[in-house]
């Protein structure tokens, strides 16, 4: 059996167009889903907090992200009370830039 190590981006491994953007959206959507589940929100309650209709929450929770922009997902995270910091930096070695999401754990009181 031959095993090939993945790149860390399944969309790139599948040679899909806009692989970096797709991974970013999937990571943001996963964080939104974690928040909704962690707060035990219904889809309707989450939709109210996020200012959208319930079917959009259903699409998001089922991974149907084609109709959602990165900007929209970030706006929804903010509506759910998340702080979002965007950092632009030069990498230590010359290479193409990358998009990534880092989730920081909440500080203990």
- Say whether pLDDT at 3 is over 50: yes
pLDDT in tens, 8-45: 888 888 999 988 899 999 999 999 999 999 999 999 99
pLDDT in tens, 57-109: 999 999 999 899 999 999 999 999 999 988 888 877 877 777 777 777 664 44
For the chain, what are the domain ranges? Answer: 15-78
Residue 99: name the closest of 10, 3, 18 by CA: 18
For the chain, the helix, strand and coil percentages under 3-state DSSP, each to the nearest 5: 45, 0, 55
* d(C-alpha 45, C-alpha 64), whole Å: 20
CATH fold of the domain at 15-78 = 434 Repressor (Amino-terminal Domain) (1.10.260)
The CB-based long-range contact list for 95-99 (8 Å cut-off, 24+ gap) reads: 98/20, 99/20, 99/21, 99/23, 99/24
* d(C-alpha 27, C-alpha 39), whole Å: 18
* pLDDT in the model for residue 55: 97
């Amino acid at each position: 059996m031959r095993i090939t190590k993945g790149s860390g981006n399944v969309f790139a491994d599948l040679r899909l167009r806009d692989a970096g953007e797709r991974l970013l959206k999937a990571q943001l959507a996963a964080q939104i889903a974690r928040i909704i589940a962690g707060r035990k929100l219904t889809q309707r309650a989450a939709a109210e907090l996020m200012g959208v209709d319930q079917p959009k929450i259903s699409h998001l929770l089922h991974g149907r992200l084609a109709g959602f922009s990165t900007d929209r997902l970030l706006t929804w995270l903010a509506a759910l009370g998340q702080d979002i910091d965007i950092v632009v930096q030069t990498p230590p070695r010359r290479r193409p830039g990358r998009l990534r999401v880092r989730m920081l754990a909440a500080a203990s009181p």
